[in-house]
C-alpha cells in the first residue's frame, strides 16, 4: 500500500497524482517561513486571508497585500524593480533607453528602407 504523505494525503486516491502533487506544492509555499519586509524578522509572516499577509511580531504588526499563496510574487518583484528604477534614474535617461539607437540617425533609416 502507498503511504499518503503531505498535505494532499487527505484526498486519498482521488483527483489524480498530478493534482495532488500540485496541491502539496502550493500549500507548502503558503506555509513556508518568510521574513517581514518592514522589520526583517524571520519566520514571522503568516497568511491571514487570500492575498493578505501579516507580521506576527508584537512590535511590528505590519499588514500588506501579496500573492494568494506567496507574500511576494515573481511579477510583483519585476514591477517593484521597474518602479525603483524609474524613481532612481532621471527621466531623460529613461527616454534614451526606451528609444532604439537607430531612430536618432535619419541616414540609418533610409538605408534600411532601401534594402
Mean pLDDT of 36-49: 90
Would you state the CATH architecture of domain 32-72? Single Sheet (2.20)
CA atoms within 13 A of residue 74's CA, in its CB half-sphere: 0
- The grid coordinates of residue 81 equal 524593480
Looking up cell 525603483, which residue turns up? 84
pTM reported for the whole predicted model = 0.63
Q: Over the Cα atoms of the chain, what is R_g?
A: 24
Q: Are 8 and 17 in contact (CB under 8 A)?
A: no
- The grid coordinates of residue 41 equal 524578522
Q: Where in the chain is the domain with CATH 2.20.25.30?
A: 32-72
pLDDT at position 58: 87
In angstroms, the CA 108 to CA 115 distance is 11
pLDDT at position 6: 81
Amino acid at each position: 500500500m502507498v503511504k499518503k504523505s503531505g498535505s494532499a494525503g487527505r484526498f486519498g486516491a482521488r483527483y489524480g497524482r498530478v493534482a495532488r502533487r500540485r496541491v502539496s506544492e502550493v500549500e507548502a509555499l503558503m506555509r513556508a517561513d518568510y521574513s517581514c519586509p518592514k522589520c526583517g524578522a524571520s519566520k514571522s509572516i503568516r497568511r491571514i486571508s487570500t492575498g493578505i499577509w501579516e507580521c506576527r511580531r508584537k512590535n511590528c504588526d505590519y499588514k500588506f497585500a501579496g500573492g494568494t499563496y506567496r507574500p511576494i510574487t515573481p511579477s510583483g518583484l519585476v514591477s517593484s524593480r521597474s518602479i525603483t528604477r524609474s524613481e532612481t534614474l532621471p527621466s531623460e535617461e529613461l527616454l534614451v533607453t526606451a528609444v532604439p539607437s537607430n531612430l536618432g540617425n535619419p541616414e540609418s533609416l533610409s538605408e534600411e528602407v532601401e534594402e
